[in-house]
Structure 1
Amino acid sequence: MPNSKTRVTVHSKLTVVSDTPVKPGKTYPLSVLDHAMGFHTLHIIFYYRYNRLDDKNSSDLGRLRQSLSEVLSQYPPVTGRLISDDQGNWEVRCNDAGLRVLKAKVDCSLDEWLKSADGDEEKDLTVWEEIPDDPKVWSPYRVQMNDFDEGGLAIGLSCPHMYADPTCATTFMNSWTEFYRRVCISHNPFFHPPGLHGRTNPNTNTESAKYYEAKSRAKPPSAVKMSTATFRFSDRMIKKCLLEIQTHCPDATPFDMLAALFWSSVIKAKTPKNTQVHNLSICMDFRKRMHAPLPHGFFGNALHFSKVSTDLRESEEGGFEYMTKIIHEHLLTIDEEEYWSVIDWLESQKEEGTKYAPPFRMYGPELTCVNMEDVSAFATMIENMKPVHVSYHIGNVDGEGLILVLPSPEEGLGRTVMVTLPEDQTDKLCKDPSILRLEPTMLVSGRC
């Protein structure tokens, strides 16, 4: 939610429509995986050194608005409105109602913001709204254009998570900036929600299906004040750390290593230490992990959640290297049958065989770590400028918290890690020697 004392002031709103009208009566049903994400929202912020105010048409967004209208012609669901179908499930009425765009001014420079803002203040750069009771005239997608003093631009994109996962929303942004640069779209949108539906011979007897069933029954966690910190690790330090653990896990990826590092640090930060078993929920995109891969431009959600566990004694005795190994080995066990079994299970929960069951908390209540290494966040170039930083926020994250492992603007194995945790744990992570020895740069982390 917006802060009471904010340096971000929204000064105008407008609606951008597509260049090409959609065929009357066109609808787009949301898939079973989309419905499952209905509890959460998605917010992405792309930071650029680009000075939009140099554009002669800056009062009306200039070329950015023109290219947005063009890309919206390729994405009819983005300009549509949510309605319920005859079974009470969500679908999009593709009626060219348009995308809402807000324009805002930030009362500091871009560099000052990246050094001084915290995770809560960063949320002011995007729109945070829940789906209203009657969403027929509500714009699910929102874009906020934030101009900094002395130049600099942050583009905030927001939508209900059941509309898009991080890969999908980032691909939309990539396409927008490609239209802006007058180059061909790298990944055309692929609209086919029936592609992910329950099978004729369902299988719900897998570890993943059992895990989703347990998540659906989990009690809501107690409300705890959360805070966010962002750590950027260089290619050099990631390579150094992977070399150190090569004996224990020679095939470890940067995600394996960073997930283990932050998971073990969170376990140490918890007080009191009265939990003997610690669970980590791992979320990954499965578009390219299937035997017949989904196109990169698949529109919607293609995320899979699984659980890895360790007891306190093993984590303390085995250390960071042991944690890396069990994460790596766990991910090797996740095959395509696990993905399909979850879809089968979600389909089996339909009320009276037609209406999808109410959504439940996917990011939580246990600590959740999301592998976003392959999200092409830094392909969203304006002119010839990559973003200097990209942040991702998930709405309605409570419980033990969230760890996002993201790409970095640096070439190679550089990574960015965003953590949203109970406030006291975030403070401890910012001072944890095992993290600080990798010499991270702190961004948008306030007091950290």
Structure 2
Amino acid sequence: MASSFSSSSSSLKFTVRRCEPQLVRPAIPTPHEVKLLSDIDDQEGLRFHLPMIQIYRKQTSMAKKDPVRVIRQALSQTLVFYYPFAGRLREGPRRKLMVDCTGEGAMFIEADADVTLDQFGDSLLPPFPCFHQLLYHVPGSQQITDTPLLLVQVTRLSCGGFILAFSFNHTMCDGDGLSQFMNTWAEMARGATKPSIAPVWRRELLMTRDPPRITCNHREYMQIPHNMTPTTFIPYENHMVLRSFFFGPSRVAAIRGLVPPHLQHCSTFDLITACFWRCRTKALQIEAEEEVRMMVIVNARAKFNPPLPVGYYGNAFAYPAAVTTAGKLRENPFGYAVNLINKVKGEVTEEYMHSVADLMVNKGQYIPVTERSFMVSDLRYFGSRETDFGWGDAAYGGVAKGGLGPFPAVTFVVPFKNAKGEEGVVLPIWLPPEAMNRFTKELGTCVL
């Protein structure tokens, strides 16, 4: 082993010993070509690496199998079919991103930790102790261009379980596309020779039209001033805290009891999102007359006619914004927020997606409005927890930190089973320390 690190979070302390990072190339030669990303893919707000984590318990039937070897070999086989992930991003004129399919490979780290899953306690959810040791950021690995598109670390635990932590360049795929990639990776680990769903590139389907025409109201975006460096930001870990909140059947029922009969059809997602939005707005003590935004990530694959091809793994989502004032959000009944969220999801159509692509190209680079904004993404159906490399379902599978790149005001709805065996969802959220205390109290008032 090349190096050793000790870390602690609360009372938990453990040491991670890791090998030198290595490149994992496709198992056989793959096409060397250049592929353009779509105009949805390469928008400024997606130019970051998103960290994920999969936690697996010991399986007696797999006692003779080394998870590092199994997962590394399966990754090599997966990259044959998803060979753009083995390439490197380049930037062309007008900051257009493209993949140079060089076959150089993904970055892979083998590691061991002197800790058991039981020592993590009952709550295997964000924030994870010592995550920076469970996924070592190789110097330069967080750049957008000329660096591996996938960084992977597999850490064996002393109990026989293991943790798969990785980060991927978000310009390459969205949650649905990542789920497809992960399923193929797991299939290869279990002995498959080809994916059950063949990957489809077809990024031209989400390129700008000729001529571009912005036909929809995009309240979720703001234009970047010419003198601003869009990727410059202060890491929010420096001045905010991360906590996760579990919603089981009883809490969801309590929230549903707050809405009138005509909104009872609204989804669990609508209810939890509205609850978080109101509690967060109150906790941040935003002035009553200030505008606040709730941006909801909507998968647009089925919005097209015909739908995007099965196997399309590029970014194909939008995040339309419900807009109101902080005062109206706080003072109106809870159903007001639920209704705003339910309605805004319906704004996403095929025309809306083309309008977003045209906006990105026609007037320069845009990013999400971050001031007094909140964003929620539903990951319940992406199957991260069911990703089986041979060790069964993950004890936890999903986002590692919450937040999206330079935008901390994002939470994810992740499926989770708590220590009591209750099925529900968990939502990690970043807030300043004092606001987090107020948020926790507000949330308790809402769901108790």
Q: State which of 306, 310, 316 in structure 1 corresponds to 2:324.
A: 310
Cα displacement string for residues 190-216 of structure 1 (whole angstroms, at most 9, x for unaligned residues): 1111111112353314112x543x254
Whole-angstrom distance in 2 between the partners of 1:296 and 1:240: 38
Cα displacement string for residues 174-205 of structure 1 (whole angstroms, at most 9, x for unaligned residues): 21111222357343211111111112353314
SS of aligned partner of 2:261: coil
User: What is the Cα deviation at residue 260 of structure 1?
Assistant: 0.3
SS of aligned partner of 2:293: strand
1:364 paired to 2:374: no
Cα displacement string for residues 130-165 of structure 1 (whole angstroms, at most 9, x for unaligned residues): 6677954x3221111122232322111212221222
Residue of structure 1 equivalent to 2:294: 280
Whole-angstrom distance in 1 between the partners of 2:118 and 2:392: 16
Q: Name the amino acid aligned to 2:328.
A: E
Q: Name the amino acid aligned to 1:369.
A: V
Residue of structure 2 equivalent to 1:430: 440
1:42 paired to 2:50: yes
User: What is the Cα deviation at residue 380 of structure 1?
Assistant: 0.7
1:177 paired to 2:159: no
Number of residue equivalences: 422
* Pairwise CA RMSD: 3.4
User: What is the Cα deviation at residue 111 of structure 1?
Assistant: 3.4
1:259 paired to 2:273: yes
Q: Which runs of 5+ in 2 are unaligned?
A: 9-13
Whole-angstrom distance in 2 between the partners of 1:243 and 1:272: 27
Q: Which runs of 5+ in 1 are unaligned?
A: 350-356, 439-448
Residue of structure 1 equivalent to 2:33: 26
SS of aligned partner of 1:73: helix
Q: State which of 76, 86, 99 in structure 1 corresponds to 2:106.
A: 99
Contact 2:24 2:108 in 1 (8 A): yes
Contact 1:48 1:388 in 2 (8 A): yes
Cα displacement string for residues 233-282 of structure 1 (whole angstroms, at most 9, x for unaligned residues): 22454355435535141221111111101001101111364554322222
Change beyond 3 A, Cα 1:237–1:436: same
Output the TM-score relative to the length of structure 1: 0.82
Q: Name the amino acid aligned to 1:200.
A: D
1:122 paired to 2:136: no
> Sequence identity of aligned pairs in percent?
20
SS of aligned partner of 2:171: coil
SS of aligned partner of 1:9: strand
The aligned runs of 1:288-299 (5 Å cut-off) are 288-299=302-313
The aligned runs of 1:175-324 (5 Å cut-off) are 175-183=184-192, 185-208=195-218, 211-212=220-221, 214-216=222-224, 225-235=239-249, 237-239=251-253, 241-242=255-256, 245=259, 247-271=261-285, 273=287, 275-324=289-338
Contact 2:56 2:391 in 1 (8 A): no
Residue of structure 2 equivalent to 1:442: none
Change beyond 3 A, Cα 1:391–1:373: closer
Change beyond 3 A, Cα 1:222–1:19: closer
User: What is the Cα deviation at residue 386 of structure 1?
Assistant: 1.0
Contact 1:197 1:347 in 2 (8 A): no
The aligned runs of 1:313-352 (5 Å cut-off) are 313-349=327-363
1:77 paired to 2:91: no
SS of aligned partner of 1:379: coil
User: What is the Cα deviation at residue 100 of structure 1?
Assistant: 1.2
Residue of structure 1 equivalent to 2:390: 383
Whole-angstrom distance in 2 between the partners of 1:302 and 1:73: 23
Cα displacement string for residues 417-439 of structure 1 (whole angstroms, at most 9, x for unaligned residues): 1212333323333343447836x
Whole-angstrom distance in 2 between the partners of 1:279 and 1:88: 28
Change beyond 3 A, Cα 1:363–1:151: farther
Which deviates the most, 421-430 or 408-417? 408-417
Contact 1:248 1:321 in 2 (8 A): no
1:159 paired to 2:159: no
SS of aligned partner of 1:177: helix
Whole-angstrom distance in 2 between the partners of 1:124 and 1:319: 45
Contact 1:254 1:413 in 2 (8 A): no
Whole-angstrom distance in 1 between the partners of 2:299 and 2:97: 22
SS of aligned partner of 2:81: coil
Q: State which of 103, 124, 145 in structure 1 corresponds to 2:154.
A: 145
